[in-house]
Structure 1
Amino acid sequence: MSLHNTATINWFFACKVEDVPANGGVCVKYLDEQIALFHFPRRNEWYATQNLCPHRQQMALSRGMTGTQGGEPKVACPFHKKSFSLVDGRCLSDDTECALNTYPVKIEDDRVYIGIVNGRDTETVMA
């Protein structure tokens, strides 16, 4: 479920660019929520999703395996290996109803910012 298709986005400072491993992820906090942040340097792309795996209910996606599927950036949960699109959060492994929240990311002066719609706490989609 994508949260960044509405009008007002409030940006918060997540970390410095150098804090995120190339082709990997880190966990950042926004209020009481955990957000997984990923960097694909060859593509010069950044993605952010909820860190909570919707199947195991574990805060683990930032430690997941990243890659591409059909040219689309993805993360696979380290527990059950289900893959999720980093573009829109949908499950790429099967037809399950669960999906991840995604958030816009921007880089300014080597600082990474994540957008939260209307300043609300993040919403979590659970299986």
Structure 2
Amino acid sequence: MNHVSNEPINWHLACTVEDVPAEGGACAYIQGRQIAIFNLARRGEWYATDNQCPHRQQMALARGMTGCENEEPKVACPFHKKTFSLRTGQGLNDENCRIDTFPVHIREDKVYIGL
């Protein structure tokens, strides 16, 4: 849920909350980008990132394993096990890798992503 630009956020309907499994992810195609959406239900938190893992440029992060590392919510690429902070996008086991993150808003059981 990291938004560092000074530009206004444009909210885009991505899916319904039912479309994203608890403790898992799903992918939505928004404004020409594949966006991975994560539901960390036990924590009551939602996150959105690029779906592309920068390690090998594979569109796979929505299928990655979610969890926490020292209270930091994370996702691990299902292919190469590179892990990323869901808050900041910073690589947790490779500081040279990072992903973009996007704000998430839930309203009336619908998931909106800010781009």
SS at match of 2:59: coil
Structure 1 unaligned spans of 5+:
117-127
Query: What's the TM-score once normalised by structure 2's chain length?
Result: 0.94
Query: What's the TM-score once normalised by structure 1's chain length?
Result: 0.86
- Superposed CA RMSD in Å reads 1.0
SS at match of 1:79: coil
SS at match of 2:62: helix
| 2:111 alignment counterpart | 112
CA distance in 2, matches of 1:58, 1:22: 23
SS at match of 2:53: coil
Cα drift, residue 37 of structure 1: 0.2
CA distance in 1, matches of 2:110, 2:57: 30
CA distance in 2, matches of 1:28, 1:95: 26
Structure 2 unaligned spans of 5+:
none
| 2:77 alignment counterpart | 77
SS at match of 2:15: strand
Aligned length in residues: 113
CA distance in 2, matches of 1:95, 1:12: 30
SS at match of 2:12: strand
- Normalized per residue, the structure richer in strand is 2
Cα drift, residue 49 of structure 1: 0.2
| 1:28 alignment counterpart | 28
Sequence identity, in percent?
A: 60
| 1:49 alignment counterpart | 49
Moved runs in structure 1, 4+ residues, more than 3 A?
none
